[in-house]
Chain A
């Protein structure tokens, strides 16, 4: 049990739609990172938030956006969904001062049809 909860666990959307994925972290975990894992591949870094501000971004287009809230929850939003967005989306949080230890959620599996 990592204390990081993601919702929903599974989601089916159609091309062009928008989706919001949620992550709830432990109290005090003020850094959250989001990753996309396509089938059969390792996760790829999307972006990181620290104290509600974006703190680094991977090679993903602007239609991938995020929010982090004061209650240690966060969201990943994806607009104009494409078929290639089908993947497992993982969030990982870490505690101030121990940011090299990341706690992963179980992920949200998104299927875009």
Chain B
């Protein structure tokens, strides 16, 4: 079993819809990252969380440390949001090495 699990693996939405991506992990972590990867490969860090909630524009990320769960929400989705969204955790026992989920491929149709 992977230490970081994401769901769904694929998601298709219509422009304007509210999107939620989930991430569950099974180990103690010091921080959790949400990353965005567009076709072509480059990864952009969206959020780093260790507790609570963060908001940036139409993106909201939440984390529940007790439940070992985080969600990334996209409000009023737009075709330019189409990308792979990756959850990655910094495992306490493993120093600063990121362990990644498998990613969620999001397609927003106009």
A residues contacting B by CB (< 8 A) are: 2, 31, 33, 35, 37, 41-45, 48, 55-56, 58, 88, 90, 92, 94, 99-107, 109
One of B14-22, B63-71, B75-83, B97-105 contacting the partner: B97-105
Q: Total contacts A to B, CB within 8 angstroms?
A: 67
Q: Which of B90, B97, B103 contacts A56 (CB 8 A)?
A: B97
The closest CB in chain B to the CB of A1 belongs to B44
Whether B98 lies near A33 (C-beta < 8 A) is yes
Shortest beta-carbon distance, A32 to chain B, in Å?
11
B residues contacting A by CB (< 8 A) are: 4, 30-31, 33, 35, 40-45, 48, 86, 88, 90, 94-103
Whether A48 lies near B86 (C-beta < 8 A) is no
Whether B41 lies near A107 (C-beta < 8 A) is yes
Whether A42 lies near B103 (C-beta < 8 A) is yes
Whether B97 lies near A58 (C-beta < 8 A) is yes
Whether B43 lies near A94 (C-beta < 8 A) is no
Q: Evaluate whether A102 and B98 lie within 8 angstroms (CB atoms) in the complex, with A42-B86, A42-B103 already known.
A: yes
Q: Evaluate whether A56 and B102 lie within 8 angstroms (CB atoms) in the complex, with A106-B42, A107-B43 already known.
A: no
Whether B42 lies near A42 (C-beta < 8 A) is no
Whether B43 lies near A100 (C-beta < 8 A) is no
Whether B102 lies near A42 (C-beta < 8 A) is yes
For A105, the chain B residues whose CB sits under 8 A away are 42
Shortest beta-carbon distance, B86 to chain A, in Å?
6
For A90, the chain B residues whose CB sits under 8 A away are 41, 43
For B94, the chain A residues whose CB sits under 8 A away are 56
Among the interface residues B30, B42, B44, B99, which one has the most CB atoms of the partner chain A within 10 A? B42
Q: Evaluate whether A101 and B97 lie within 8 angstroms (CB atoms) in the complex, with A107-B41, A109-B41 already known.
A: no
Q: Which of B30, B35, B42, B102 contacts A100 (CB 8 A)?
A: B30
